[in-house]
Amino acid sequence: MVELTDSAKSLIEGKNLVHFVTLMPDGSPQVTPLWVDHDGTHVLVNTAEGRQKPRNLARDSRVALSIVDSNNPYQYVQIRGKVVEVTTDGAFEHICKLSEKYTGSADYPKRPGETRLIVRIAPEHISGRENTGRR
C-alpha cells in the first residue's frame, strides 16, 4: 500500500467524479462514474448490493480509479489498488455525506430494499499530473 498524495486527497475532496474500474468475469473493464471520498489512508466509494461493481469485486479485488479536476482538466490522478473491505456499516450515512458534497443536500433517497455498501480501497500505485495552471 502507498500513501495517498496531497494532490490525490485534494482531488478526492473536491467536487470531482471518479471513474471507477472493476473487472468483469471475462477480464474486460467495467467503468462507472461515482462520487468519491477518503479516510486519510483509503479511497472510499459507495454502491449498493446487487449491482455489477460488488459482484465484480467479490471475484477480483483489483480496481483502478481516475479523477480529473473539474476546473482544470490538465490536473488528474490515477490510482490502482485493491479493495480491502466492503461493509454496510455506516454506508447509508456515507452516501448522505457524499450527497451533501456533490449536490448540496444530504437528503439522499432511501430506496426500499436497497442495501448501501462502502468500498474501501488500499492504493498500490498513484500517478498523475499536478496543477500546472494550464487551462
Give the Cα separation of 7 and 60 in Å (integer). 28
Q: What average pLDDT does the structure give for the chain?
A: 95
Per-residue pLDDT tens digits for 113-123: 999 999 999 99
State the residue for C-alpha cell 474500474: 21
- Whichever domain contains 79, its CATH number is 2.30.110.10
Q: For residue 11, tell me if it sits in a domain.
A: yes
Please report the pLDDT score of residue 121 as a whole number.
Answer: 98
What pLDDT was estimated at residue 129? 87
Number of structural domains found in the chain: 1
Instruction: Write the DSSP string, 77-118.
Output: EEEEEEEEEEE-TTHHHHHHHHHHHHHS-------TT--EEE
Domain range enclosing 124: 6-129
What integer pLDDT is reported at residue 22 of this predicted model? 98
* Per-residue pLDDT tens digits for 8-33: 999 999 999 999 999 999 999 999 99
